[in-house]
Amino acid sequence: MKRVAVTGSNGFIGSHLVPALLSKGYEVLELSRSRGVDIMDFDCLQGLPKCDSIIHLAARTFVPDSFIYPKEFFEFNLGTTLNVLELARMWKAKTVYLSSYFYGTPQYVPVDEVHPLRPHNPYAQSKLMAEQLCEAYYRDFKVTSIVLRLFNIYGPGQKGVFLIPEILEKIKSGYLDLKDPRPKRDYIHIDDVVRAVCLCLETEFNGFDVFNLATGISHAVEDVVKIISKYSSIPFTVSYSHEYREGEVLDSAGNAEKLKRFIGIDNFIGLEDGLKKMLS
């Protein structure tokens, strides 16, 4: 039996990933404050049972807060990654790091991994710097790291200020008010994220590499609303204020062909199928 450590195991991704790992026969070591483990405190990590792999999910993620508390974002997102990599060095373990989108306004879509990087907020900058830490630990200590640049994740149990859970909460009143119907995003279902992470664990690989985790297709806000309206059991009306955010990225889709070849997968769940599955 292989043992896998998962940071942030009580979060949205972790709550789906841990049961999947257990079902595959892994022994899972959950590293989160809810489990009494502070991954910011390296002394707290001493004496943990050795693991074969570490999946690093824990992060501060709410972009508006990163402008208010930049120091906390950089300290947590970099500090936890550094501690994870140091554990991996000591354990000779593989790491899988869940990163983010920081291509800015794309020069072309779908964007691939060689597209210029343009982090445009403290959160994105901290995630990019954490990727660079992963690369440095492979260069200097041969700690294997697989980095997955996650596009717009969605699925059952997601909370917070994200478009799809916001819509699903608002339609309960029968009325949906949104701002800009135009921005297009590449939505990746939680089941595909879990499947990709599990396949990364199973893939024989020694090195450092970065992969987009995306469907390759983008959908506008109004497209998302139309799909939800089609399958929702709750009738609702919708209005848009057409309030446009300065510097808004109007279209982003990711080219995941490199990842598909790496883990041996053909396709990911389309948005309509994913939302239909959620709403049923």
Domain residue ranges of the chain, discontinuous segments joined by +? 3-159+188-217+253-269
**Mean pLDDT, contiguous 10-residue spans, the chain (280 residues):** 94 97 97 91 93 97 92 97 98 97 94 95 96 98 98 93 93 95 97 98 96 98 97 95 87 97 95 95
CB atoms within 10 A of CB 88: 24
What was the pLDDT predicted at 264?
96
List b or e across 161-193, with b for residues whose CB sees 16 or more CB atoms inside 10 angstroms. eebbbebbeebeeeebebebeebbbbbbbbbbb
Rounded CA-CA distance 176/187 in Å is 20
pTM assigned to the model: 0.96
CATH of region 3-159+188-217+253-269: 3.40.50.720
What was the pLDDT predicted at 247?
76
What was the pLDDT predicted at 169?
94
Rounded CA-CA distance 116/112 in Å is 9
